[in-house]
């Protein structure tokens, strides 16, 4: 029996003759390989993109917990870095491809199990990233005034789970633990002039709170030295150039650095030279004028590890952080911080711990390495679990920019395709794909959000943004998102 399945091509509104199925089976279980991806962030989209491009018969369904796609591109990238969000354009193209479908508002693990996905699809790719964060593991960490950077960033970027954060910005000094790009984003958002922030897609509640902020000094603290700093030069340059601010570093932290920097590769060299210049050089006249007029201060502090957050006298909130003083053993990227026994107390009212995101297990039947907080895998193939793959931060740990995740995801897609070609992944028998999942969801009262529904949310956010002079005004709760999606 010759079957012709036709689907309207959303972009051109023409009908495309998609495939001639000779299986003799009912239309819903055609022979094309069906892959499902868990997580609609960069990892999910780049994996989908590569699969769809490489084989003309693969169909990909992307499941996402939230009603809205794009993961950390939407909720992690800083509001003042809109260019980084350009990748949304290529993800949108992928989502609109006839062989790709987006199912938002579906929580894999609670609404549908990984096992049920494995039954419905030939392959499952876990790309759900890192929803948790590494704890400092020190007394006082749960006092009011202490936040994980992930939550602070989620708050100013409109992540529904963080909308009630209400950080207290009434103190003078904020201390950030960690010196990666996330720490620098937090520092920059805390110190940026309002007239810069108000033109971005930062949420209005965050903007309102920051407008009242009394924070005038931000210290960005790392365990090791200037040559081990984890952030990249672009972000440091942004701090140096931030209007109405001046840098304040400790000259002693840079002892021996000017000599050591001569031997290192160019990227590390340029970054360290910028730090040296900012910390030690006599400023130009123009720079000196800027510094003397600046109302806000920022600085890196090196060789310090948190040991305790000290409470205010009434024990209600954080009032200072106790830092252990370290010395460095070894040099270069592998140098380690060794406590000297000395400690130092820094009065502050806001403590942001930016020491890493952390992936969480979503299904007890899947292997999970709790030490590294990743799904154990070889080249993206989940260990001891045929037909299950992983990409993005869940695969390699929570570091890397979008470009890193892109390559990582392409690698997983290649492994999956290799397995299809070699027969290691059996795609010969038909699988129902989403037709095997949507009835389960319906029975459980879960109504997925399709990509065209997201487009309604997108349009509404852009429309509200126009009124505020911003690129968009994000909807802040899942309920609101679903309401707009369903209208």
- Residues of each annotated binding site: 43, 64, 72, 108, 179-182, 223-224, 235, 393, 400-402
Which element (helix H / strand E) includes 357?
Answer: strand 357-358
Interface stretch with other proteins, choices 178-186, 381-389, 446-454, 473-481 (CB under 8 A): 178-186
Minimal distance in Å, beta carbon 316 to other proteins? 33
352 to 411, contacts with other proteins by CB under 8 A?
Answer: 396, 398-404, 406-408, 410-411
Q: Which is nearer to other proteins, 182 or 309 (CB)?
A: 182
Residues 6+ apart with CB under 8 A from 118: 124, 387, 388
Residue 481 binds other proteins (CB under 8 A): no
CA distances for 205 relative to 145, 163, 165, 201, 202, angstroms: 18, 9, 11, 11, 9
Q: Which of 94, 127, 133, 203 binds other proteins (CB under 8 A)?
A: 94
Extract long-range pairs of 479-486: CB within 8 Å, 24+ residues apart.
481/66, 481/67, 481/68, 481/160, 481/449, 481/457, 482/67, 482/105, 482/449, 484/456, 484/457, 484/460, 485/67, 485/104, 485/105, 485/449, 485/453, 485/454, 485/456, 485/457, 486/453
Q: Which is nearer to other proteins, 219 or 413 (CB)?
A: 413
Minimal distance in Å, beta carbon 475 to other proteins? 25
Q: Which residues are annotated as a binding site for NADP(+)?
A: 179-182, 223-224, 235, 400
Q: Which of 36, 37, 38, 52 binds other proteins (CB under 8 A)?
A: 52
Minimal distance in Å, beta carbon 267 to other proteins? 4
Q: Which is nearer to other proteins, 17 or 384 (CB)?
A: 17
Residue 11 binds other proteins (CB under 8 A): yes
Minimal distance in Å, beta carbon 20 to other proteins? 11
Residue 7 binds other proteins (CB under 8 A): no
Inter-residue contact 281 to 240 (CB < 8 Å): no
DSSP 332: G
Inter-residue contact 65 to 415 (CB < 8 Å): no
* Cross-strand partners of 450: none
For 260-309, the DSSP string reads HGGGS-HHHHHHHHHHHHHHHSPPPHHHHHHHHH-SEEEEEE-SEEEEEE
Give the phi and the psi of residue 89 in degrees, each rounded to 5: -65, -45
Q: Which is nearer to other proteins, 402 or 475 (CB)?
A: 402
Residue 17 binds other proteins (CB under 8 A): yes
Q: Which of 7, 10, 16, 444 binds other proteins (CB under 8 A)?
A: 16
Interface stretch with other proteins, choices 232-240, 245-253, 310-318, 446-454 (CB under 8 A): 232-240
Minimal distance in Å, beta carbon 265 to other proteins? 6
Give the phi and the psi of residue 332 in degrees, each rounded to 5: 75, -160
Nearest-angstrom CA–CA distance, 191 and 215: 8
Per-residue exposure over 73-106, b if at least 16 CB sit within 10 Å of its own CB, e if not: bbbbbbbbeeeebebbeebbebbebebbbbbbbb
Q: Which of 5, 31, 57, 81 binds other proteins (CB under 8 A)?
A: 81
Residue 4 binds other proteins (CB under 8 A): no
Residue 93 binds other proteins (CB under 8 A): yes
Q: Count of residues binding other proteins (CB under 8 A)? A: 51
Which positions touch other proteins (CB under 8 A)? 9, 11-12, 14, 16-17, 46, 49-50, 52-53, 81, 83-84, 86-87, 89-90, 93-94, 97-98, 180-182, 230-234, 237, 265-268, 270-271, 333, 396, 398-404, 406-408, 410-411
């Amino acid at each position: 029996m010759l079957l012709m399945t036709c689907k309207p091509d959303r972009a051109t509104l023409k009908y495309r003759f998609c495939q001639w199925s000779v299986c003799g089976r009912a239309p819903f279980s055609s022979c094309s390989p069906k892959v499902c991806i868990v997580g609609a962030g960069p990892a999910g989209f780049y994996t989908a993109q590569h699969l769809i491009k490489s084989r003309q018969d693969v169909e990909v369904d992307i499941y996402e917990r939230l009603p809205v796609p794009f993961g950390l591109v939407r909720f992690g990238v800083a509001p003042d870095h809109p260019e980084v969000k350009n990748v949304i354009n290529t993800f949108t193209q992928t989502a609109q491809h006839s062989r790709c479908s987006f199912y938002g508002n579906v929580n894999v693990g609670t609404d549908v199990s990984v096992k049920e996905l494995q039954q419905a699809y030939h392959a499952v790719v876990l790309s759900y990233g890192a929803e948790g964060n590494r704890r400092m593991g020190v007394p006082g960490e749960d006092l009011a005034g202490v936040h994980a950077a992930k939550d602070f960033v989620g708050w100013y970027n409109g992540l529904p789970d963080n909308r009630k954060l209400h950080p207290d910005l009434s103190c003078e000094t904020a201390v950030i633990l960690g010196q990666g790009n996330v720490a620098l984003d937090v520092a920059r958002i805390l110190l940026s002039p309002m007239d810069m922030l108000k033109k971005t897609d930062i949420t209005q509640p965050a903007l309102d709170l920051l407008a009242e902020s009394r924070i005038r000094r931000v210290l960005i603290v790392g365990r090791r030295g200037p040559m081990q700093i984890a952030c990249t030069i672009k972000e440091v340059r942004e701090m140096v150039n931030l209007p109405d601010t001046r840098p304040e570093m400790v000259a002693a932290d840079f002892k021996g650095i000017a000599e050591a920097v001569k031997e290192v590769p160019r990227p590390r060299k340029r970054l360290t030279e910028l730090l040296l210049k900012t910390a030690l050089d006599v400023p130009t006249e123009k720079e000196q004028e800027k510094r003397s007029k600046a109302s806000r201060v920022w600085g890196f502090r090196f060789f310090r590890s948190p040991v305790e957050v000290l409470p205010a006298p009434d024990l209600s909130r954080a009032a200072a952080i106790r830092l252990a003083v370290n010395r460095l053993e070894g040099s270069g990227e592998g140098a380690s911080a060794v406590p000297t026994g000395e400690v130092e107390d820094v009065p502050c009212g806001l403590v942001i711990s930016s020491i890493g995101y952390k992936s969480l297990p979503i299904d007890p039947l899947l292997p999970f390495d709790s030490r590294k907080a990743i799904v154990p895998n070889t080249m993206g193939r989940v260990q001891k679990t045929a037909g299950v793959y992983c990409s993005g931060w869940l695969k390699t740990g929570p570091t890397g920019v979008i470009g890193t995740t892109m390559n990582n995801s392409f690698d997983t897609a290649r492994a999956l395709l290799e397995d299809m070609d070699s027969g290691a992944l059996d795609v010969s028998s038909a699988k129902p794909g989403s037709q095997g999942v949507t009835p389960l969801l319906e029975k459980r009262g879960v109504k997925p959000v399709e990509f065209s529904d997201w487009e309604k949310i997108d349009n509404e956010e852009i429309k509200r943004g126009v009124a505020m002079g911003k690129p968009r005004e994000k909807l802040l709760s899942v309920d609101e998102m679903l309401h707009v999606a369903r209208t």
